[in-house]
Amino acid sequence: MATLKAVMTSAEQDQKMALDALNATYDIANAQVDAAKKPSKLSGYFSFGKTDQVRPSEVSHANSSSKSQYLANGIMRAHVIKAECSLQMAILQLLQESIVNYVKFGLNLRRAYNSYNIVWQEYKKMGSEFKKHMDKHTVSGVQFGIGSVHLVLSVLPAKALKAMSVLGWKPDRKLGFELLQQSSSSKRIRSSMATMMLLAYFTAATSFAPHLYSDVYIKQAMDTLLEAQKHYPNSALYLYFAGRVARLANDLALSTRSFLYAADISKNEWAEVAMVNACRYEIAMNHMLTANWEQAADAFNVLCDQNYWSPPFCRYLQGCCYEMLDRRSDAILAFATVESLLAPVSKKLLASGQGGMPDTDTYAQRKVLAFQQSGYQDLDFYKPALEFLCIWNLLPFVTHELLETYLASVKTALERLQVREKDEYSIRLREFAPEMPLPDHYDQRAALLFIQSALQNALGDHASNIEHLNWIVDHKDKITSESWTVPYAHWEAGIAYWQTDRRDRSRDFWEMSLNYGKFDFEHRLSVRMNLALLRCDDLGFTKPSPPPTPGKRSFSFSK
């Protein structure tokens, strides 16, 4: 329960409470395992004193039971509890998105797998006789654990696996799904956890790469959810997942109703604040997708005040919504407070030795500093709200009418940028060695062209965006602050080819993106790329395409 609350809120106090509880439980289970390895001196003394009173038949029976070829059920249960604590700690650390926590995640996940594997090997040795030696809850627990480890590791990019020294073990998604489904259907203690792990995987994978996984996982998510709600129709957690699944199915009205119901039904419960804020965030996403910018801004304002997830990023998104409403003064006021919200975050991270800030906070800080450099006079050359929707891969859930409107606004911003460059160059026609430097708008143009390409992909106009994506790649050495646009351009190029049934080329571009590093939301894109490459593997697109003909552009639809 503490872990679920920490995952929903990302609040430091909730994470600390969960980690403290998990560490304490781990120590208790570990003590039980250690105690079983050491013979008790007291029991040995009494057994020695009573030896002459034991009948031969009793000795024979005791010897046969003491020499059992399997671990005692209590010890196996303790190993499962140890592993489960390590697994939950690993998931919490993964969600914190820092280098130090990624390392801790790897250590805890490996520790979890080692403990689960002890019981798993015993379970396999028992074969059909496992019911005689293991209780049903322990069986369900090891199924949940091994299945979860397989799924979690399957989505991690190769770089992360290598950094955490777990490459020696190859994850098996198919086995992971089978074990989690067995645990879910067993209706034991961990069945609900297995169901939520499946729903989390289905919704996360589809959210990261909707073009690739919508046809694969949405129906499975719906089936899993309907089965779960037969037994728990008023579960706030399942209603929350119902909202996520409805959005992925492009039913935003149902999605919002599900989140509202989940928030309402959680009132006066142990995780009321956590669930209400998690639902408020998701509803804010739906408002952004339907251009209800006023309501989205209000929601992000409340989330920031509630210290939910990343307060600086929530305030930044509030400013983005105001900018879409042409409320420039309100947007500037929101952006101006981001830095003050970042100061305590940075101080806490340095004090705890966790390294740099999360990607969301780093991104918000960099964007606001870019706005401030021109005294917010260059905001006409940015589309921060649309940029967020592109990075979060949310455009597939926006209507065509809105996409057309957004595309027109991006083209207008590009035209304004071109006028600015013309004016700056015209000065050099009138003055010798002017103080004004040469025009340098590569970053603004790269971000706008990326947004335009993503919008055109969402509209199905795949051929038109290749020119813009090529511009980004061709000028990558001159793009500094918006360097994220280069690897993300490879993603959009891959989507363009995927949607036009040239999927072998998609794999090439996605693999190229893995050569880039140290850019905004690198981890997010790495997970997305890994999911994309897994999908390519599933469909048999495993061989690299022949090298392009010399003289061709980086991205081209010509054969």
- Which domains does the chain show, CATH number per domain? 1-50+71-189 (no CATH), 191-290 (1.25.40), 379-429+438-539 (1.25.40)
Average pLDDT score over the chain: 89
| pLDDT of the residue at 517 | 92
> Is 50 exceeded by the pLDDT of residue 61?
no
Residue 213 contacts residue 205 (beta carbons within 8 Å): yes
Q: Is the dihedral of CA 394, 397, 399, 400 positive or negative?
A: positive
pLDDT band at 345 (very low <50, low <70, confident <90, very high): confident
Residue 152 contacts residue 106 (beta carbons within 8 Å): no
> Is 70 exceeded by the pLDDT of residue 553?
no
The type of residue at 226 is L
| pLDDT of the residue at 267 | 92
| pLDDT of the residue at 54 | 41
CA angle 522, 523, 527 (to 5 degrees): 120
Residue 221 contacts residue 204 (beta carbons within 8 Å): no
Long-range contacts, 343-350 (Cβ 8 Å, 24+)? 345/311, 345/312, 348/12, 349/98
pLDDT tens for residues 30-46?
A: 999 999 887 655 444 44
Residue 3 contacts residue 271 (beta carbons within 8 Å): no
Higher confidence at residue 133 or residue 170? Answer: 133
| pLDDT of the residue at 248 | 98
Through-space distance between the first and last CA atoms of the chain, rounded to whole angstroms: 55
Higher confidence at residue 433 or residue 200? Answer: 200
| pLDDT of the residue at 352 | 64
Give SS3 for 398: coil
| pLDDT of the residue at 69 | 86
Kindly list the distances between the CA atom of residue 458 and the CA atoms of 377, 414, 417, 469, 500, in Å, as whole numbers in the listed order. Answer: 30, 19, 24, 15, 13
| pLDDT of the residue at 50 | 46
> Is 50 exceeded by the pLDDT of residue 78?
yes
Rounded Cα–Cα distance for residues 311 and 307 (Å) = 5
Least confident interval from 431-440, 466-475, 504-513: 431-440
Alpha helices in 41-72 (DSSP H): 41-49, 56-66
| pLDDT of the residue at 412 | 98
| pLDDT of the residue at 426 | 85
Q: Is the dihedral of CA 478, 480, 482, 485 positive or negative?
A: positive
Rounded Cα–Cα distance for residues 321 and 329 (Å) = 12
| pLDDT of the residue at 543 | 73
Rg (CA), the chain: 27
The type of residue at 431 is E
Kindly list the distances between the CA atom of residue 63 and the CA atoms of 76, 331, 543, in Å, as whole numbers in the listed order. Answer: 21, 78, 59
Least confident interval from 28-42, 453-467, 495-509: 28-42
Residue 393 contacts residue 208 (beta carbons within 8 Å): yes
pLDDT tens for residues 201-225?
A: 999 999 999 999 999 999 999 999 9
pLDDT tens for residues 287-344?
A: 999 999 999 999 999 999 999 999 999 999 999 999 999 999 999 999 999 999 998 8
The type of residue at 26 is Y
Alpha helices in 67-169 (DSSP H): 73-95, 99-126, 130-133, 136-155, 158-163
Among 52-61, 174-183, 422-431, the range with the most confident prediction by mean pLDDT is: 174-183
| pLDDT of the residue at 45 | 46
| pLDDT of the residue at 547 | 57
| pLDDT of the residue at 56 | 41
List the one residue out of 242, 154, 152, 234 whose CA is nearest residue 197. 152
pLDDT tens for residues 255-282?
A: 999 999 999 999 998 889 999 999 999 9
> Is 60 exceeded by the pLDDT of residue 520?
yes
Rounded Cα–Cα distance for residues 134 and 170 (Å) = 27
pLDDT band at 427 (very low <50, low <70, confident <90, very high): confident
In the chain, % of residues over pLDDT 70: 88
| pLDDT of the residue at 57 | 41
- DSSP character for 420? H
pLDDT band at 94 (very low <50, low <70, confident <90, very high): confident
Instruction: Tell me the mean pLDDT in the region 359-381.
Output: 96
| pLDDT of the residue at 424 | 87
| pLDDT of the residue at 65 | 42
